[in-house]
Amino acid sequence: MRKILVLEDEENIRSFVVINLKRAGYTTVEAGTGEEALTALRENPDVKVALLDIMLPDIDGFEVCRRIRAMDSNIGIIMLTARTQEMDKVTGLMTGADDYVTKPFSPAELTARVDALFRRTGGGSRPLGTDEISIPPFLMNTRNRTVDKNGQRIKLTQVEFNLLRLFMENPNRALSREEILAAVWEDEYFGEVKIVDVNIRRLRIKIEDNPQKPQYISTVWGYGYKWGG
Ligand code: CA
């Protein structure tokens, strides 16, 4: 279960976040105050990631973060900040947050951050305790960073590997080019979606039977790419 806690007192923002997370396949638990969030977490021990607003009517998001960390070190925490001061980022990371997203954020940016954190915290689609993702004819080992196709090793660059991993962890889900860019390249190439196309082309040459007629990474016209037909 991919369950996320969304703590945000402004209803408009909270429903915007919840709608987009649900669309991306997540289950959500909502809270409007810090106390509600802590109660919700106690009642939902299967929450893997928490999104925490900072400015709240009772205790602030940093304090919520500190208290969550005191009870659970494995949960992934993303701070939602309206402010862009370096201080907020530093304070958030110091109190135990894993990442932060600055408002206003796009749905693609938010889901890419959440997906990335899910992968890092082991809450992704692959079962816990295994480093292998098997989607025949491919077998990926995320620890050794190797990929075999029909038992034959495929040589990939680190970027190509990360790209392939993103697809194999999100089978049959259309990923926008912005989402792919954010997940694989993070902030380095912000806005340069062409780099996604170039690398997909290279990856297809290495993994497809016929790169001209790709059957593993398909194009979603006007949007991005998808693993599976
Ligand atoms: Ca707020």
pLDDT at 56 over 70: yes
Q: What range does the domain containing 54 cover? A: 3-120
Domain annotation covers residue 127: no
Please, which pLDDT band fits residue 7 given cuts at 50, 70 and 90? very high
Distance in Å, CA 48 to ligand 1 centroid:
22
| For range 94-99, the mean pLDDT | 76
Distance in Å, CA 104 to ligand 1 centroid:
12
Q: Is 219 left (phi over 0), alpha (psi -120 to 50) or beta?
A: beta
pLDDT at 125 over 60: no
Comparing 187 with 39, the larger pLDDT belongs to 39
pLDDT at 129 over 60: no
**Pick from 71-75, 154-158, 177-181: least confident:** 71-75
Q: What residues does 6 pair with on adjacent strands?
A: 30, 51
pLDDT of amino acid 153: 94
Helix (H, G, I), strand (E, B) or coil at 141: strand
Distance in Å, CA 55 to ligand 1 centroid:
4
Dist. CA 39–CA 33, nearest whole Å = 10
Distance in Å, CA 25 to ligand 1 centroid:
25
pLDDT at 127 over 60: no
Domain annotation covers residue 202: yes
- Residue-wise pLDDT tens digits, 201-217: 989 999 999 999 999 99
What is the tally of structural domains in the chain? 2
pLDDT at 184 over 50: yes
113 with 29, same domain: the answer is: yes
Dist. CA 185–CA 188, nearest whole Å = 6
pLDDT of amino acid 126: 39
Distance in Å, CA 30 to ligand 1 centroid:
14
Helix (H, G, I), strand (E, B) or coil at 203: helix
184 with 152, same domain: the answer is: yes
| For range 49-67, the mean pLDDT | 92
24 with 95, same domain: the answer is: yes
pLDDT of amino acid 194: 83
Mean pLDDT, the chain, whole residue set: 86
Nearest to 23 by CA among 118, 110, 92: 110
70 with 157, same domain: the answer is: no
Dist. CA 131–CA 192, nearest whole Å = 31
Distance in Å, CA 105 to ligand 1 centroid:
14
161 with 64, same domain: the answer is: no
Q: What is the pTM of this model?
A: 0.54
The dihedral formed by the CA atoms of 177, 180, 186 and 191, expressed in degrees to the nearest 10: 0
| For range 8-19, the mean pLDDT | 94
How far apart, in Å, do the first and last CA atoms of the chain sit? Answer: 25
| For range 16-35, the mean pLDDT | 94
Q: H or E segment at 117?
A: helix 107-120
pLDDT of amino acid 124: 42
